[in-house]
Each structure stands twice: as C-alpha cells, then as structure tokens.
C-alpha cells in the first residue's frame, strides 16, 4: 500500500484557541473549526511525515483505536480537508517554502 | 467656450468616517446636494483627504444592488463591482473613480468596501453591529439581520449616544479599540453621531424570555466576530489580517452574549 503525505495549505490562516484549531481559507474566507483528531492531523501535517506514521505516533497514542481503522479514518479526513483546500494530500513528500502559519 | 467650462465645474465634498477623510468629486450639483444631505454630520470643511474619488454618473439602469460585491486587486489597483456600480481605486496614488447612477446607495457601498480594505491593514474592521456610547465607553451589539440591532438601538435611553444601528466602525489603538459613529444606517434609518469612544464590551445579541448576560468562550467569541465582520475581498493577505484582528480583538475586549426582551429594561444591564 503506497504511503500518503499531507501538508498544511499555505493559503490559510490558522490559530489554536481553547484547544480548538480554527482555520480560515484565504481563498474564500470560509471558517473551519477542527475537532481534536483533525487538529492532531493538521498540526502534524508537515508534508514529509507519512500519514501512517502520523496516525501511529500522534492519533493512536491519543485515542485507543485500532491502527488500521484509524489510518482509514485519517485518510478520509485528509481528503475531506483537501477538498476544502486547507490541506494538501500527495503520494510524494510535499515540499513547501512555508507551511500555513499555525499558532 | 466659457459657458461649457462653467457647466463642467467640479464640485467636491469630503466625507470623514472613522478619521478617514474621503473626497468625492462630481459635476452634478443635484448629486452633490444629495451627498451633502446623506452624509450630514460626516462632511468636513477640511481640504485634506486620504482618498479621492471622481464619480461619473450614468443613466439609471437595471443593475442589481443585491448582487454580490466583487473586490479584486491587480497590479496595485482595486477593482470593485456590483450590479449597480463599478469602481477602481489605487491605494498608492490614493485616487479612484466610481461609475454609478445618481443614487446614494452605490457610493455608500463603495465607501464601506474601501473602509474595510483600509482598516484591515491597520487591525480594524467594520462589524455588523449596533454601537453606542454610555458613560464615555462604547458598547457593540453584534448580530445578523433580525438579531435585534435596530430594536436595542430604538430602546436606548436618553443618556446613550447612538453610533450606528447597523455597521460599527472599529479602529485599533495602542491601548485597545475605539468605535466611531457611522452614517451606515439600518432599519432605524437614522445615521449615527460622528463621535468616538474606547470599546468596553461587545454583546452577541439573542432574544429570549428575560434579560441576562452570559459569558462566551474565546473561541465562540472569535467565531461570532468573524461571522459578523464585513468582508468583501478574495485576497489571502486580507483574510489573514481579518482573522488575526478577530483574535487580537477578543484578547483585549470582553465579548458576552446578551439575551434580551424587547423592552427598555435591557439597558439596565448596560452600564
């Protein structure tokens, strides 16, 4: 099974407040609030760490979930965030000049 | 041809909202008169203007004033269009033009858009909210149409100075935020007083069976603020600026939820 890589889109503004990650699309100013799982994925999405490693090291550590189920859910989530153009998904590492600012 | 030169004499007036004077020039005396009336209280005798617009009046046409505004920036020049007007503005030269029919609503929209663009660069914004001054402090009442902005404005007691019942003008200062009166009126159809005061609080409006104020989380405050900030441009830098401004504002100004009955007792909670 090929690996997937995820990276924060550089065209968004993002900040964490009260444990909630809030992201605004620079394209159409839509505001997203991520849940805990999506926040973990977002924060770890550096473009070079494979998604399965993110799931294993960040999500499975935080939640008691079966790794294969968690990976499947994480892939669905990553593609959903990609549809909103706040995350990039690729089968190759994603090299960016600067990832989306995340405070 | 001296007669023709006299006919084309340019008339100008300076409309100053939120300490930003904008000069509007037109050849049409009736339009000039209409603007003078429309912005009474915000027209200054000052020669200084930060922005200057030439207005070219067109014959009335069936442009849709309810259409979405399109504000785009290209090569340092802003293009602003809606069904009933088109305009361009170049921030570097501080000059621009507006093409519209002789009505007050189109230029009113252009002014709102230009103010949002200028404020965004300075940490300020226009907010869908009523605002008023009481005891030297400004309070804002935010909400979408029907939330009660006009109602709470109408219920204000005599010691309250109304800044607007529709669009609040918020500027950032080194020690906090200041609200200014605006001529942008809502259903009350009454322009605000041209005064300002430091902002003490923002209330997110809700209507209910009794009057009470409840705390909201910072994240809810930011979400509510962002949903009420006027935003026109599809521009990544300005999106980031507005996003950061909302967080900065919430870190400095108390935001609460005000549930109220539509009677004047609600103002007993606003001191």
pLDDT tens, residue by residue, B158-207: 999 999 999 999 999 999 999 999 999 888 888 899 999 999 999 999 99
Partner residue facing B217 (CB), from A18, A29, A31: A18
CA torsion through residues B259, B265, B269, B271, sign: positive
Contact with chain B for residue A25, Cβ under 8 A = yes
| Residue B74 CA from chain centroid, whole number | 24
> What integer pLDDT is reported at residue B95 of this predicted model?
96
Q: If you ran DSSP here, which 8-state letter would residue B267 be given? A: G
CATH class of residue range B125-269: alpha beta
Structural element, H or E, at residue B126: strand B125-134
| pLDDT of A29 | 84
Pairing state between β B176-180 and B196-207:
antiparallel
Q: Return residue ranges of chain B for CATH 3.40.50.
A: 125-269
Write down the domain spans for chain A.
5-88
Helix and strand numbers, DSSP H then E, in chain B = 6, 16
Chain B residue with CA closest to A18: the answer is B219
Tokens of B35: 């603007």
Band of the pLDDT at B6, cuts 50, 70, 90?
low
Bridge partner list, A12:
A25
Query: What is the percent of chain B where pLDDT is above 90?
Result: 81
Residue B245 pLDDT > 50, yes or no? Answer: yes
Q: Is A15 on the interface with B (CB under 8 A)?
A: yes
B11 in Cβ contact with B55 (< 8 Å): no
pTM of the model: 0.89
Does residue B8 surpass a pLDDT of 80? no
pLDDT of residue B4: 53
Cβ-defined contact of A18 to B247 (cutoff 8 Å): no
Summarize the confidence of residues B85-90 as an average pLDDT. 96
Q: Which of B179, B22, B189, B191 is nearest to B97 (CA)?
A: B22
User: Who contacts B253 (Cβ-Cβ below 8 Å, separation ≥6)?
Assistant: B176, B177, B199, B200, B201, B202
CB contact under 8 Å between B236 and A17, yes or no, is no
Question: Residue B78: its pLDDT value, please?
Answer: 95
Candidates B125, B152, B142; CA nearest to B201 is B142
- Give the count of Cβ contacts less than 8 A between chain A and B: 42
Segment 28-47 of chain A within 8 Å of chain B by CB: 28-29, 31, 33
Per-residue pLDDT of chain A (103 residues; tens, 9 = 90+): 679 999 999 889 999 998 889 999 888 888 999 999 999 999 999 999 999 999 999 999 888 889 999 999 999 999 999 998 899 999 999 987 654 445 5
Question: Is the interface score ipTM higher than 0.85?
Answer: no
The answer to which of A62-66, B20-24, B240-244, B250-254 has the lowest mean pLDDT is A62-66
* Domain spanning A5-88, CATH class: alpha beta
Cβ within 8 Å, pair B236-A27 = yes
Largest CA distance in chain A: 37
């Amino acid at each position: 099974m090929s690996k997937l890589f995820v990276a924060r889109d550089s065209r968004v503004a993002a900040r964490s407040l009260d444990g909630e990650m809030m992201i605004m699309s620079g394209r159409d100013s839509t505001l997203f609030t991520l849940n805990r799982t999506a926040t973990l994925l977002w924060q770890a999405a550096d473009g070079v760490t494979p998604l399965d490693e993110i799931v294993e090291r960040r999500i499975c550590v935080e939640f008691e979930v079966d790794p294969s189920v968690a990976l499947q859910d994480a892939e669905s989530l990553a593609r959903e965030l990609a549809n909103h153009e706040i995350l990039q998904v690729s089968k190759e590492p994603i090299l960016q000049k600067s990832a989306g600012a995340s405070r | 041809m001296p007669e023709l030169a006299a006919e084309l004499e340019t008339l100008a007036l300076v409309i100053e909202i939120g300490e930003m004077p904008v000069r509007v020039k037109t050849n049409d005396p009736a339009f000039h008169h209409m603007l003078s009336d429309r912005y009474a209280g915000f027209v200054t005798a000052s020669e200084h203007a930060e922005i200057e617009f030439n207005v070219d009046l067109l014959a009335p046409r069936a442009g849709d004033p309810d259409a979405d505004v399109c504000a785009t920036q290209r090569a340092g020049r802003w293009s602003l269009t809606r069904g009933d007007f088109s305009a361009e503005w170049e921030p570097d030269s501080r000059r621009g033009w507006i093409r519209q029919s002789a009505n007050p609503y189109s230029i009113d929209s252009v002014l709102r858009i230009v103010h949002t663009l200028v404020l965004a660069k300075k940490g300020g914004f226009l907010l869908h909210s009523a605002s008023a001054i009481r005891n030297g402090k400004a309070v804002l009442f935010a909400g979408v149409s029907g939330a009660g902005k006009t109602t709470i404005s109408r219920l204000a007691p005599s010691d309250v100075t109304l800044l607007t019942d529709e669009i609040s003008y918020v500027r950032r200062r080194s020690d906090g935020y200041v609200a200014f009166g605006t001529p942008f009126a809502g259903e009350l159809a009454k322009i605000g007083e041209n005064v300002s005061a430091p902002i003490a609080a923002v209330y997110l409006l809700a209507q209910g069976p009794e009057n009470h104020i409840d705390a909201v989380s910072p994240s809810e405050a930011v979400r509510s603020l962002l949903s009420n900030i006027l935003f026109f441009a599809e521009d990544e830098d300005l999106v980031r600026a507005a996003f950061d401004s909302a967080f900065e504002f919430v870190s400095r100004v108390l935001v609460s939820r005000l549930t109220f009955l539509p009677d004047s007792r609600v103002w007993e909670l606003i001191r």
